[in-house]
Structure 1
Amino acid sequence: MTDDLAGRIAALMPRAKADLTELVAIPSVADPRQYPPEACQQAAEWVAAAFTEAGLRDVHLAETPDGSHAVLGHRPPPPGAPTVLLYCHYDVQPPLGDDAWSSPPFELTERDGRWYGRGTADCKGNIVMHLTALRALGDALPVGIKFVAEGSEEQGTGGLEAYVRQHPDELHADALLICDTGNAAVGVPTATTSLRGLANVVVTVSTLSGNMHSGMFGGPAPDALAALIRILDSLRDADGGTRVQGLDADGRWEGVGYDEQQFRADAGVLDGVALTGSGSVADRLWARPAVTVLGIDCPPVIGSAAAVPATARARVSLRVPPGTDPGHARDALTAHLQSAAPWGAKVEVETESTGAPFSAATGGRAYTALDRAVQAVYGKPIAFLGQGGSIPLCNVLADTYTDAEIILMGVEEPSCLIHAPNESVDPGEIEHMAHVEALFLQHYAAGRA
């Protein structure tokens, strides 16, 4: 049966590539300041049509409280069979400038055995993985399915989280496959069991009533950009580790580690550049807070005037490890930014978003079924790793469906460069993980796990 299923999935891979080509061509960035909202609508409608064709019923778009649209659908279970939720999201990160890409970001391009384009992995590759698994099983689908594709995951505005709280019955299932993560490396089957939460803020520094001529006033006139730089620098210690007053910066990761040389290669760290912080790589990634300055508003180099800046602002993201309350982390970050202001500079901190960290329980029937599926496809047991990213929805689902097992898996792996220019996916991971998903559904339904 496994060989037959593998053959059907292999035969579906040209269609998977065609689907992903169409999806990548839709610039579904859920930020109307950068891209027209019609693109997200087009992507949502594409997803709805594809999963209707794949056998789901009543597939429709539902508006969520942040204005985005979730795509919802279902298929009833056979008598006595469990129900599994399949999750993905169709919105993507902005490309961060076409000139940083080796090929157009919204055009799927095959190069060196990988498929390049924004969203090929995160998360449109996982959409195609779901479709391929469902098509391979066809009418022999052994479980009930509930399906949701989120439309604003990358923006962190919480539309689907709020929708779940308002409509808890719609996504109730026995096992939840949250397919927005992936393997530790190509060919290393992995379930993510730990996620960091986040606290994102925008900090604005003001020192003058307006920009002033640097020749006439520079020196004694307080420079808002210089003040902002000092504030941001205070968030790191001498070796670059995150240091936010009131937060534990010395957590330890107890699970499988992350080889430092492999991390350097995965992260593209330049020769001679040291990693920041102390402790193991896994400690720093999965067990400790980590601050990143995501953006700064200040005069650009080209076109800048000889003037002392009166205001400057930055978008700051703080990743929060399990065991730390994101509200406490946000408050600590806010207090730190305000207290670090030099020269009496005026500091305003606006909360942009928060999300709780997540830890999965791995001892249930669904994880046993997943391990069986993984061993059949990859020939090795599943690995459990943490992930530095955040999926706030996981905590909402865990709180809403207390008896459900939550599994985080997918086609993303470090070489995908998600959120960065030149994002790509290994098509073999789509094929193998679609096979894993299809086998998982069979094993989970059979109760032989």
Structure 2
Amino acid sequence: MPPLDALIAELSEFIAIPSVSADPAHQGDVAAAAEWVAERVRRAGGAADVIPWGKRPLVIGEVRASHNADSAPTILCYGHFDVQPPDPLDLWSSPPFDLVDRDGWLYARGIADDKGQLYMLLKAAGLLAAAGELPVNLRIACDGEEEIGGHSIVDWVAADERGADAAIVFDSGMIERGVPAFNVAVRGLCYFHVTVRTGTRDLHSGMYGGASLNAMHALMQTLSAVLPRDGRVPEELRVGVVPPSDAEVAGWAALPAGRAEIAAAGSVPADPGAADEFYLRTWGEPSVDVHGVQGGSPVLQKTVIAVSAEANVSIRLVGDQDPAVITDAFETLLREAAPAGSELEITRLSAAPPGLIPSDARAIVLGLDAFEEVLGVRPLLIRSGGAIPLVSALASRGVATVLTGFSLNESNVHSPNERIPTSYLPLGIEAAAALYRHLADLG
């Protein structure tokens, strides 16, 4: 293993590229990050291409096994090289695209999600290949639009005829420090933009208040139709929910208390039953959230009746829920709730199905052995509340995926001061190398 300073210096190059996929101004940076990834595959002795695919590139590459490549198993490695926007910048303790080692933590946008973790997979491959000890064929497939729900990687999987014997994704985290976890299910996602219009121009609230339809009121009334009550979304949005088994629920009871998890995130329970049902609600239940609302004058004192209001809102999917079915139900609920006279426009911005990985799959068992060898503890089998379209696509093709990672609840993922423990950088590289060695037994 190279010295820690050398690892940090190399990773700093990757982190410094502000590959914010949500901002069109950073489209060139997303392309630069793709080239950085491709170059690391080439330096490992492999081949890689940056492939234009829609609006953002894919990196597709391969590093062949050091020996007996024709008979060695093939493992697909995925990570994304785009990152969340860094704002609000004034809440960062150091510049978001400078990798800073401070008080036992590595700070930077993307260090946990997902550049730092993708780097672990790439570096482990490079080290094993350089030593002539890479025991599997690695296929590298990375995208630059995961943070905006892009489908290019899913489309690539659908078109790919080669497949793989298993897959590895480092884009998750531990239950708590020293307690690793493998995610055997991911939630899906449908993301919508909703716009309500109620007239041709803003009006004086003294002259028309109480008589003219207010777009902000209309939007709130419309959205109320899909919001959860006591932790459950409307029945129309529950089609396809598969309850977790009793064994799963019993295992979740051994995890840190939900109330403590919510408090550690600096939040409060959504309702009196939320803390006790924390894992069920975040892993086994669909959830609806409003992510942003705009309209009228939320800052300046301005007495107007707004003519237009808009919001971003999404629903997380579980079990066997079909994004198309849920989209239809979602839109129907909104249209039925919109007040008479309002004009409602609904645009689905992205969608991804949920995915389930058999917990007894050979690749999962071998992966558990590998992590136990390096970390000294066997990972817990849990579910993920997030949506990773590639995992769902691979699950539908029967490719067992080791979905794990080295972030923590306090890693501030998607928030200012994103971080991982400094010691987890070399630890993650060691764990990735052990995964490659153990998965060779699939052959």
TM-score of the alignment, normalized to the shorter chain, above 0.5: yes
Identity of aligned residues (%): 31
Give the whole-Å Cα distance in 2 for the aligned partners of 1:105 and 1:366: 36
Which amino acid is the alignment partner of residue 267 of structure 1?
A: A
Q: Aligned-pair distance for 1:214?
A: 1.6
Q: Residue 268 of structure 1 aligns with which residue?
A: 266
Which amino acid is the alignment partner of residue 195 of structure 1?
A: V
User: Is 2:42 the counterpart of 1:52?
Assistant: yes
Q: Aligned-pair distance for 1:100?
A: 2.8
Give a deviation string over 1:266-325, Cα, whole Å, max 9, x none.
42225x986774761111111111111112221343346322101101110110112222
Assess if the C-alpha contact under 8 Å between 1:91 and 1:154 holds in 2: yes
Q: Residue 382 of structure 1 aligns with which residue?
A: 379
Give the whole-Å Cα distance in 1 for the aligned partners of 2:272 and 2:60: 42
Match of 1:411 among 385, 406, 430: 406
Give the whole-Å Cα distance in 1 for the aligned partners of 2:438 and 2:148: 35
Match of 1:124 among 115, 118, 123: 115
Assess if the C-alpha contact under 8 Å between 1:253 and 1:286 holds in 2: no
Give a deviation string over 1:82-126, Cα, whole Å, max 9, x none.
111111110011123212323222222233311111101000011
Match of 2:63 among 67, 72, 75: 75
Question: How do 1:366-377 residues align onto structure 2 when only pairs under 5 Å count?
Answer: 366-377=363-374
Q: Residue 248 of structure 1 aligns with which residue?
A: 238
Q: Residue 186 of structure 2 aligns with which residue?
A: 195
Which amino acid is the alignment partner of residue 244 of structure 1?
A: P
Q: Aligned-pair distance for 1:203?
A: 1.1
Q: Residue 421 of structure 1 aligns with which residue?
A: 416
Match of 1:228 among 219, 222, 227: 219
Question: How do 1:6-17 residues align onto structure 2 when only pairs under 5 Å count?
Answer: 8=1, 11-17=2-8
Give a deviation string over 1:331-353, Cα, whole Å, max 9, x none.
22111111222344222211111
Q: Residue 358 of structure 2 aligns with which residue?
A: 361
Assess if the C-alpha contact under 8 Å between 1:227 and 1:342 holds in 2: yes
Q: Residue 175 of structure 1 aligns with which residue?
A: 166
Q: Aligned-pair distance for 1:132?
A: 2.9
Give a deviation string over 1:58-77, Cα, whole Å, max 9, x none.
2110111x221111211223
Give a deviation string over 1:326-375, Cα, whole Å, max 9, x none.
22222221111112223442222111111100110122332222122111
Q: Residue 392 of structure 1 aligns with which residue?
A: 389
CA gap 1:329/1:41 in 2 versus in 1, 3 angstroms: same
Question: How do 1:83-162 residues align onto structure 2 when only pairs under 5 Å count?
Answer: 83-137=74-128, 138=130, 139-162=132-155
Give the whole-Å Cα distance in 2 for the aligned partners of 1:196 and 1:225: 31
Give the whole-Å Cα distance in 2 for the aligned partners of 1:163 and 1:238: 38
With the length of structure 1 as denominator, give the TM-score of the two structures. Answer: 0.89
User: Is 2:340 the counterpart of 1:352?
Assistant: no
CA gap 1:245/1:349 in 2 versus in 1, 3 angstroms: farther
With the length of structure 2 as denominator, give the TM-score of the two structures. Answer: 0.90
Give a deviation string over 1:378-423, Cα, whole Å, max 9, x none.
22222111111001122222334x3x32211122232212112221
Q: What secondary structure is seen at the aligned counterpart in 2 of 1:121?
A: coil
Give the whole-Å Cα distance in 2 for the aligned partners of 1:273 and 1:335: 25
User: Is 2:158 the counterpart of 1:165?
Assistant: yes
Q: Residue 332 of structure 1 aligns with which residue?
A: 329
Assess if the C-alpha contact under 8 Å between 1:184 and 1:385 holds in 2: no
Give the whole-Å Cα distance in 2 for the aligned partners of 1:389 and 1:61: 27
Assess if the C-alpha contact under 8 Å between 1:202 and 1:351 holds in 2: yes
Q: Which moved more, 1:407-416 or 1:185-194?
A: 407-416
Provide structure 1 residue ranges, at least 5 long, that are not aligned to the other structure: 1-7
Give a deviation string over 1:416-447, Cα, whole Å, max 9, x none.
12112221112322322321221121122246
Q: What secondary structure is seen at the aligned counterpart in 1 of 2:154?
A: helix
Aligned length: 430
Let me know the Cα RMSD of the aligned residues: 2.3
Assess if the C-alpha contact under 8 Å between 1:211 and 1:307 holds in 2: yes
